[in-house]
Chain A
Amino acid sequence: MSWLTVTYACLFYAATAMFVFGVGFRIYSYARTPAPLKIPTTPAPLTPAGAGFRVAREVVLFESLFKSNKWIWLFGAMFHFGLLLVLLRHLRYFTEPVWTWVVLLQPFGKYASFLMVGGLAGLWARRFLVPRIRYISTPSDHLMLVLLLGIGLSGMSMDFVSHTDIISLKEFALGLVYFDWQPLPADPPLLVHLFLVATLLAIFPISKLLHAPGVFFSPTRNQADNAREQQHVTPWAPKLEP
């Protein structure tokens, strides 16, 4: 077993652990923290099911962002939708035999990478071109986009520029899943791609990528507008004196 394989295998186990436990802890901390008052941004759905649907629209359609700014919506949607297809396509490296729907998705997943990278480029351009957004951007905002662009471009290069040894890669990936390590092909674009992905996993729980779990816990979106009908009391609230 080469030191490269061992290094990358360990890297992925560590990054995955950080991702799972880190994000898990953040979700736990959000869930544990009480929401003492009803604060849905109205008009809001009157039932919890309606509020769930509202959150779903935020997650799938970016409804509020659409109201707000069509350019950010467009680039954001391109990136996230592209990323979703790309990620689903990647399931083929972790399943044997590959599920039929993943096979059918293959061409879409492949070209979705252009959507993803195009969206990222648009979002990054705004950080330079729009003075308001330039003002609020921190170095980490830029680096996050660099990281994601790096992942996208290194991945695309292995498909559209020079192919990597995909058979061996899949054996390596399956080996990680089943704890039966197989050699990793020493192909530079692949090594870059995998290293950046591991970095992304590791920093997810300590970065603004927490917007992904956060959106589900936003009280202005996930609360139903039923404050008059149903009493809402939090454990730390003082009780009425009898």
Chain B
Amino acid sequence: MAQAKFEVPKLKPYPVIPVLKENAMAEVKSFPANAGIQQALGFPGELPEDWHDVAIAKMGELLDKYRSFRVYMDTCVHCGACTDKCHYFLGTSDPNNMPVARQDLLRKVYRRYFTFAGKYFPKLVGAEDLTRDVLDQWYTYFHQCSECRRCSVFCPYGIDTAEVTMAAREILDTVSVGTKYTNEIIGKVHKIGNNLGLPGPALEDTLTGLEEDIKADTGVDVRLPIDVKGAEVLLITPSADFFAEPHVDSLIGYAKVFHQAGISWTLSSHASEAGNFGLFIGNYEQMRKVAMRIREAALDLGVKRIVVGECGHAWRVAYSFWNTLIGPLDFLDKRYPWPQHVCEVTWDLIQRGALTLDKEANDHRIITFHDSCNVARASRMGNMPGGQFFIPRAIIKSVANHFHDMAPDTIEEKTFCCGGGGGLLTDDLMEVRVKGALPRMEALKQVVDDHGVNFMALICAICKSQFTKVVPYYGFDMSMIGGVHQLVSTAIQLGTKQ
């Protein structure tokens, strides 16, 4: 078991709503970004003298630009429906991690400056002045939210804490306050093209190495092409797929699928990142600028289709926002006029009988599937609502014999976040990440005990990184985490079809 500097929660046989522990997580903070990181994104390098007025003005601006923010600031009735729904609350017991309380950190300032009741009767409605302490509190608790939207499923008004968190982070950035982790990464994308800062030549080397590995494994020449003009498909995948374990096994899986289906494809060194951390900081311009690289790469390479690899928030941005941010993508093939998830491509090929799959090759695995939050609650696959739940499971069942779902309250639209999404996947937030994973770990434990599950399949790079790091704290082996296309990769029989 991994060693922790904090108390790792015990796995209980059934979910228990914790007793409130005020300020339990008040001191757990992400490393702040330095002036250089902030300035590279066009934010001020240090707290401006008139930061108070700047922050309030920004709040006013966001209220005028985002209906979600405006309506959600007014609409909450404090009914309490969301109070036991956040994985960070369930794992940390800190009441400020209850969605309503987290929103209220911002809402109390909204009330004070933008509502009649808050201006004249602040105590009555819980309105508060914006002070350095409040700013500090925002920084802490709006970086203990993974923007997973689980609370929005349960809210009678659909209030989405992710929208509130994004607004808070946007306000913080305008007064120079951001996290090192997220904002440094956005800078790297602008400069180099991916979150990891891998330059083109390093990428080519890695891909050549992978080709050799596949050849050694299967005896088949499977290519992982990059910057090939005129390819049919541009694959946009999280850069973790290029080198991190177990991510890379899914990349090999995509390559094998394209190979066997005879689809010509390419990666791009200009747009070598599916992830878009602009989403996490709620900044429209940053998100658009990151996404724009993909439009540029697609036009430059002259591709006809864009396919997105296993990455949760990237799929949200691709599915829900690309058409808005960088569309219309009217240069794509009319049969595939919009970005597709690699699972949509694979499932389509499976249905058409284009892949030769040996399910028994996965017989050593007893599999469960973790729905990643952005795929589950902020996007879709296929042509029916809920396709994002059906298609990955259908693929798994086509490539493996043993599959068991986790408890119904922890999957599909009610899925629990891995604990590392929304820009929290950094070592300085390890306590938040480990504790936030608790509800998922309890559900996993149940299927491990009941069905002997030894593999949790996922389609999100952040989930993969988070789980491989965090499951050892709960006594699981990190090798039980892997991608859906890792399973496809195991089952696919190369050389049998062309």
Contacts and interface: CB of A to CB of B under 8 A. Distances in A.
B157 A211 contact: yes
Interface stretch (A1-9, A129-137, A163-171): A129-137
B57 interface: no
A42 B379 contact: yes
A229 B319 CA distance: 10
Interface stretch (A81-89, A90-98, A191-199, A232-240): A232-240
A181 interface: no
B154 A225 contact: no
B376 interface: yes
Interface stretch (A57-65, A101-109, A112-120, A154-162): A57-65
Contacts of A58: 156-158
Interface in A171-220: 203, 206-208, 210-211, 214-215, 217-220
A64 B80 contact: no
Contact of B81 (A68, A135, A232): A68
Contacts of B339: 228
Given A30-B67, A36-B284, A140 B324 contact: no
B413 A68 contact: no
B173 interface: no
Contacts of A126: 80
Contacts of A11: none
Interface string B128-156: 00000000000000000000010011111
A121 interface: no
A145 B166 CA distance: 32
Interface stretch (B70-78, B213-221, B350-358): B70-78
Given A138-B126, A143-B124, A231-B323, A41 B160 contact: yes
Contacts of A236: 65
B319 A34 contact: no
Interface string B285-318: 1001000000000000000000000000000000
A148 B368 CA distance: 49
B98 interface: yes
Interface residues of B, number: 73
B380 A214 contact: no
Contacts, number: 210
B163 to A, nearest CB: 7
B119 to A, nearest CB: 10
Nearest to B162: A39
A85 B15 CA distance: 39
Given A58-B156, A135-B20, A38 B82 contact: no
A30 B163 CA distance: 16
A214 B75 contact: yes
B73 to A, nearest CB: 10
A35 B85 contact: no
A192 to B, nearest CB: 21
A64 B385 contact: no
Contact of B385 (A133, A225, A230, A237): A225
A64 B154 contact: yes
A53 B73 CA distance: 24
B206 interface: no
Contacts of B285: 238
B409 to A, nearest CB: 10
Contacts of B152: 41, 220
B326 interface: yes
Contacts of A232: 323-324
A20 interface: no
A138 B121 CA distance: 12
A138 B158 contact: no
B115 interface: yes
A72 B377 contact: no
A46 B338 contact: no
Contact of A29 (B66, B70, B386): B70
A139 interface: yes
B323 A30 contact: no
Interface of B: 17, 19-20, 63-68, 70-72, 74-85, 95, 98, 100-101, 104, 115-117, 121, 123-126, 149, 152-160, 163, 284-285, 288, 319-321, 323-324, 326-328, 338-339, 376-380, 384-386, 388-389, 413-414
Closest 8 CB pairs of A and B: A214-B75, A68-B154, A43-B385, A220-B158, A138-B126, A133-B80, A68-B81, A221-B158
Given A65-B154, A215-B158, 7 more contacts: A69-B81, A132-B83, A143-B124, A207-B125, A208-B74, A208-B78, A233-B324
15 contacts: A37-B320, A39-B68, A42-B376, A44-B380, A64-B154, A65-B79, A132-B84, A136-B80, A136-B101, A138-B78, A141-B78, A211-B75, A220-B68, A227-B324, A231-B328
